Structure 1
């Protein structure tokens, strides 16, 4: 309908970036925002307790950029990504949230792609191109944010094909995809608030994004895959500790088995 397309025209996009004590990576991510074909309405940096080096990178970006940048920080008490995401989402003022991690450099059309492929009652999820470990020192010294299809620095290079025509073929589905990664998703703010955001019973690495998506799906929100669009470049790092994985997996299984649409320990405590 006409009114829908008008809403999309004026939709305000909040770009939400999670980070923890990796200022060198975050600096490149922020640099890639400056090169976007479409700028977000605001940038929210959800900081899970980084030290002052990260704050300095963000303050530099604030000085250089005309964008509205909000740094949401809490004390470091271990991996509490669900908490800081909820706090940042609560502080966002956009209608639509595009979420990525602070170790993922944006393709120049990243925001434009998410906006173009957004639909009502739908969340989007994309994949990532991998930047290889042996190229890290060169990456950080050159501060490069653009990678051609043939770049030696990347693996999974077919994910680096930007083909608008092909990306339009993917349909929204009501099934949780095992391709979902929290480092490249987008959703309507009202849809995530309707399921009470991230589940803060889930601390430590693993499953927090897919458990949230389970509740979105149970609440009638479909998932659409981004392929050949919405490209990001993930900077190699050592794997996170998996010590919380089993506990978090149980919480997700409970949400699936009980068709949960709401988590008790969620975002509502930050919304006034």
Structure 2
């Protein structure tokens, strides 16, 4: 195995400690641990803080809680604040409603490469088994598990990554719940765009700026497996505004923004 980069695992969360608990339990089962875990908390209530403090007592790596007041969906801002505090070279980003395969972190670090970012897919855990997984704290899934969708994405054959193609343009399959990038590249494009409003587009707009400075993508397929816990969709009332910002970033090849991670470095 090659020398793996040091990494910070960063995850946003908001008022869903049941899902966050399963995520943290899946971190404890990783074959390769991140060097630190940073929870980017977009204003959760006391229950989330108590859960994190409980895990901090015996967590094998630093578990850092970055919180700001709840003022609507401010995911770009809290993620910028969290990554500004990150101490390590490589950022693995997942959502707070993800349960990771035991080799998730290992796969992201194994295939990390200068000049590239990585993005993976997700298996959907359906609503009808949520009570069961939360009650029994289930964090292991496979092709035959009940209550999952997109079963083909459970298949684990990482050697096939030897044949993965370079994405010179941003893929429509990009999902912020499963991606990774070099912290120095993130800082070059000034991180997430805090002018984006509400849900959506923040990850893909940032990735577009990475492409605009010459960074390319590789898709983790049959590796970097992630299981997404079902939840109702958030409001998309501002998605048209965000789409226009992303369109401008793409067409004008914008590489940086005025309101990003620079505010916290």
User: 164, 170, 189: which is aligned to 2:164?
Assistant: 170
Q: Residues 193-272 of structure 1 correspond to what in structure 2 (within 5 A)?
A: 193-271=187-265
Structure-to-structure mapping, 1:90-239, within 5 angstroms:
90-239=84-233
* Matches of 2:142 and 2:194, distance apart in 1: 39
How much has 1:70 moved relative to structure 2?
0.8
The answer to whether the Cα contact below 8 Å between 1:97 and 1:187 also exists between their aligned partners in 2 is: yes
Do the aligned partners of 1:130 and 1:235 also contact (CA within 8 Å) in 2?
Answer: yes
> By how many angstroms is 1:168 displaced?
2.5
Alpha-carbon shift at residue 164 of structure 1 (Å) = 1.3
Q: Distance in 2 between matches of 1:133 and 1:10?
A: 36
1:77 aligns with 2:79: no
Q: Report if aligned partners of 1:82, 1:203 keep a CA contact under 8 Å in 2.
A: no
Cα separation, partners in 2 of 1:165 and 1:66, compared to 1, 3 Å: closer
Q: Which runs of 4+ in 1 moved over 6 A?
A: none
**Per-residue CA distance 1:86-137 (angstroms, 9 max, x = gap):** 0000000010000000100010000000011111010000010000100000
Q: Distance in 2 between matches of 1:43 and 1:165?
A: 27
Residues 132, 155 of structure 1: 8 Å contact kept: yes
Measured against aligned partners, the alpha-carbon deviations of 1:136-157 in whole angstroms (never above 9, x if no partner) come to 0001011010002111121101
Separation in 2, partners of 1:168, 1:141: 39
TM-score (normalised: structure 2): 0.98
Instruction: Work out whether 1:25 is the aligned partner of 2:19.
Output: yes
* Range with bigger deviation, 146-155 or 128-137: 146-155
* TM-score, length basis structure 1: 0.96
Please list the CA deviations of residues 167-196 of structure 1 after superposition, one character each: whole Å capped at 9, or x if unmatched: 332122210100001111100000000000
1:177, 1:252 → 2: CA distance?
14
Is the counterpart of residue 43 in structure 1 residue 37 in structure 2?
yes
Alpha-carbon separation, structure 1, partners of 2:35 and 2:124: 28
CA distance in 2, matches of 1:265, 1:174: 26
Note if contact 1:25-1:102 (Cα within 8 Å) is conserved in structure 2: yes
Instruction: Tell me, in whole angstroms, the C-alpha distance in 1 between the residues paired with 2:4 and 2:225.
Output: 23
